[in-house]
Amino acid sequence: MSDRSPGGSLALAATAGVLIAAMAVMGWWQYTAYDDQQRNDARTALSRPPVALDEVLGPDESFPAAASSRPVEVRGSYNEAEQFYVEALAGSPHTYAVATPFETQSGSAVIVIRGASEQPTAPAPGGKVWLQGVLNPSASAGQPLDEDRITDGVRIPALLSEVSADLYAGYVVLTASLPAEPLDRVEPPLPNPSRWAGIRNLLYAVQWWV
């Protein structure tokens, strides 16, 4: 027959419960720190100094993995006549993201997400334009343009017949331009962070939870 009193067993159980709860909290805190490190790593990738567009993606090249989410700069002019609109694009503060072909010195055009609008209309700056933005690969899904030149994704293959110039294999989300762009900005998608960003915090979280 055990000499352990009911009160002692309850105390041990309560102590164990407190320790388990504390370990869960510490593990969650470390996991939250890991998540923050991942997000910071992704944001840092978007704040790199821009490079010339043609240094990372040529007009006749397939899209390289290293070009994804790369800040770039380019000079040229907008072709407003072939502008189109992307409905419910991620990062857009309004109904439509305004997408305008931007003809570069190469003679090809890159699609530029200039900003956002509640209506499918937005005059583009005329003349020569210098711009910076974040380069992204073609979307994997996107319908052909309808009669109002509206689509639901920037899928470059679906746009080849809609733009007279040859198209680059990616598109740019505008972050700055001269002359200035009056439209509200569309936020570029965050890139995938390095798998090693915050890995120490993740390992600490696992230690607390096992």
Q: What is the pLDDT of residue 20?
A: 72
State how far Cα 101 lies from the chain centre: 20
| pLDDT beyond 50 at 204 | no
What are 101-160's pLDDT values in tens digits?
999 999 999 999 999 999 999 999 999 999 999 999 999 999 999 999 999 999 999 999
CB distance 119 to 134 below 8 Å:
no
What are 27-75's pLDDT values in tens digits?
666 557 555 555 655 666 677 899 999 999 999 899 999 899 999 999 9
| pLDDT beyond 80 at 169 | yes
Look up the CATH architecture of domain 51-178: Beta Barrel (2.40)
Domain ranges of the chain: 6-46+195-209, 51-178
35 or 186, higher pLDDT: 186
